[in-house]
Structure 1
Amino acid sequence: MHQAADAAPLRRPGKRRWSPAALAVAPTFILVAISVYGFIGWSTVISFTSSKYFPQYDFVGFSQYVRLWESDRWNTSVINLVLFSVGFALISLLLGLIIAIFLDQKIRGESTLRMIYLYPMAISLIVTGIAWKWILNPGTGIEHLLRSWGWEGASFNWLVDPKMAVYTLVIAAVWQTAGFVMAIFLAGLRGVDSEIVKAAQLEGAGAFRIYTCIIIPMLRTSMFSAIVILVYQAVRSFDLVVAMTNGGPGYSSDLPTTFMYNSTFLCGQMAQGSASAVMILLVVVVIVVPYLYAEFKHEHNDSSH
């Protein structure tokens, strides 16, 4: 026994050994830390300089942020982001919830319908944008089709109308994402205790009242998750805008992400683009942090019980 104890390797107190799993993850962690958080920090530093085509480190305080909020194009992109986010999120939530309730009725061919509704999520935003650009183009899309059917007065020129172009982005984004929202709500509906529904039916409650007063309020977690995902997706939207409108006509359908790209890479205003990127990051943080806090609090409460 004493020989075996003596043969055992001695561990120095306070010295921690790396596990194989930690060693395997370490390169990825370092790469992410440098390529993501490192460049976030670098962009933040550049936003306080007068950098144009190349980085300069002559700090000018908050002048780039003041200039940013004095820009008509930036303010237009912010207003468009609010319109796009609200329209996209509300319509996707409503449509996704309606489809989920429809599929929750145990209808025939449910799996096929689920696949059809989810199919747009498998398509890239670039393809979606190009397809809807053709569909909504007055010369080749809906307007042209209606006029070819004899309705000469038909007009659907939102894509080339500066006041309506941003709403074409909402149409395409809802088409792409409504099926995903449906899947979130359907999972929540399938998790509702059937005994509660049966008790309500015994009390004489109809289907409409059961859904509006009992089931939908129980989907708060699913709805909160869907809202966070939708708004986050709206804030970072870039591919769809470039493919459909490229921010036009003029800059009437610009979003902050396209403003950042144009400022940094096309107009040679690196500091201005970095300042807009920091503002976008702050919006994402405001959206994501409460969600992560709620998830952490929920898991903590579950573990305590």
Structure 2
Amino acid sequence: MLSSSPSTPWLPKLVLAPSFVLAMGFIYGLIAWNGYLSFSASRLLPNYEWAGLVHYQSLWASERWWLALRNLAVFGGLFIGGAMALGLLMAVLLDQKIRAEGALRTVFLYPMALSFIVTGTAWKWILNPGLGLEKVLHDLGFTTVKFDWLIDPDKALYCVVIAAIWQSAGFVMALFLAGLRAIDESIVKAAQVDGASLPQIYARILIPSLRPVFFSTLMIVSHLAIKSFDLVMALTAGGPGYATDLPATFMYTMAFTRGQIGLGAASATMMLATIAAIVVPYLYSELRAKR
């Protein structure tokens, strides 16, 4: 009879060690390097001479940076609110256990399977006055209709919001639907016995029970809003002018187009600090709840 092999508790650690080392190097190592560059004298090329807060002073004195922050506030507010509202509505509708639920769930989730580059390119065609909706309506005889938001500096940012909500609402729906399906059905049946209508059950029982899902979804969608880059570059490239410029596009332009590596690193560090201010309290609350 063969004896069992001796336990090797070090084997999983040995197997995972290369991945762990690479992750630490390429993620946290590069974050630390970017942080040091933001305090260095780097311009067109990295320069490791210490320069202090020079780049941060230039950053906060830049009108374009403040415009990017204002655009982020508008974009983030509309995107987060719109994606969560539409996702919750779709989740409530699918929770009625309709016959075509599987097909509809696939359709709603499909945009999230696309990259933001594909989404931006597709919506750029759809919203282009010479190719998309406006041209279709003109061909149908509605020649007075004008839909030129993509080239209007006052409305271009809303085009980015529309495309972002279209891509992310299905993912938000999946989170809310999973939360609704996790609620004990006996609670719903008890409320129905007491005479509560379906809208009352959702408004007073089910949706308030989704508070943890709301919080987790808010964290994820906020993270997507702050680091939005590829969607903006594919759809508007930050234009017209600086109308759709966001912190991520500002960072890219400064670091890789204008030859201001230190200034770009400073803006990237500020974005990281913003994300950390959102994620760290969430992780702390989760760990505290588990304890």
TM-score range, shorter-chain basis? Answer: over 0.9
Q: Tell me the alpha carbon deviations over residues 57-81 of structure 1, each in whole angstroms, 9 at most, x when there is no partner.
A: 2322212111101111111111111
Gaps of 5+ in 2: 1-7
Give the equivalent residue in structure 1 for 2:124: 133
Give the equivalent residue in structure 1 for 2:83: 92
Find the partner of 2:204 among 213, 232, 251. 213
CA distance in 2, matches of 1:37, 1:131: 34
Q: Larger C-alpha radius of gyration, 1 or 2? A: 1
Q: CA RMSD in A?
A: 1.3
Find the partner of 2:49 among 27, 35, 58. 58
Please list, as runs of the form range in 1=range in 2, the aligned pairs for 1:24-39 lying within 5 A after superposition: 24-39=15-30
TM-score normalised by the chain length of structure 1: 0.90
Matched length: 284
Deviation at 1:52, TM superposition (A): 0.8
Deviation at 1:133, TM superposition (A): 0.2
CA distance in 2, matches of 1:87, 1:298: 31
Deviation at 1:166, TM superposition (A): 1.2
Give the equivalent residue in structure 1 for 2:109: 118
Q: Identity percentage over the alignment?
A: 50
Give the equivalent residue in structure 1 for 2:182: 191
The alignment partner of 2:207 has SS state of helix
Deviation at 1:262, TM superposition (A): 0.7
Gaps of 5+ in 1: 1-16, 301-305
CA distance in 2, matches of 1:26, 1:108: 48
Quick check: 1:244 aligned with 2:235?
A: yes
Give the equivalent residue in structure 1 for 2:272: 281
Q: Tell me the alpha carbon deviations over residues 215-266 of structure 1, each in whole angstroms, 9 at most, x when there is no partner.
A: 1000001111111110101111111011000000011101111111110011
CA distance in 1, matches of 2:108, 2:130: 28
Deviation at 1:156, TM superposition (A): 1.3
Q: Counterpart of 1:202 in structure 2: which amino acid?
A: V
Deviation at 1:35, TM superposition (A): 1.2
CA distance in 2, matches of 1:294, 1:167: 34
CA distance in 1, matches of 2:184, 2:23: 42
Stretch of structure 1 that moved more, 271-280 or 49-58: 49-58
The alignment partner of 1:168 has SS state of helix
Give the equivalent residue in structure 1 for 2:4: none
Q: Tell me the alpha carbon deviations over residues 167-216 of structure 1, each in whole angstroms, 9 at most, x when there is no partner.
A: 11110011111111111000011011111111111221111111111110
Give the equivalent residue in structure 1 for 2:138: 147
The alignment partner of 2:78 has SS state of helix
Give the equivalent residue in structure 1 for 2:3: none
The alignment partner of 2:154 has SS state of coil
Deviation at 1:299, TM superposition (A): 2.6
Q: Counterpart of 2:270 in structure 1: which amino acid?
A: M
Quick check: 1:19 aligned with 2:10?
A: yes
Quick check: 1:162 aligned with 2:169?
A: no
Could you list the structure 1 runs, at least 4 aligned residues long, displaced by more than 4 angstroms after superposition.
none
Q: Tell me the alpha carbon deviations over residues 101-160 of structure 1, each in whole angstroms, 9 at most, x when there is no partner.
A: 111111111111111111111111111100000001111111111222222221111111
Give the equivalent residue in structure 2 for 1:268: 259
Deviation at 1:295, TM superposition (A): 2.2
CA distance in 1, matches of 2:281, 2:149: 36
Deviation at 1:298, TM superposition (A): 2.9
CA distance in 2, matches of 1:57, 1:116: 50
TM-score normalised by the chain length of structure 2: 0.95
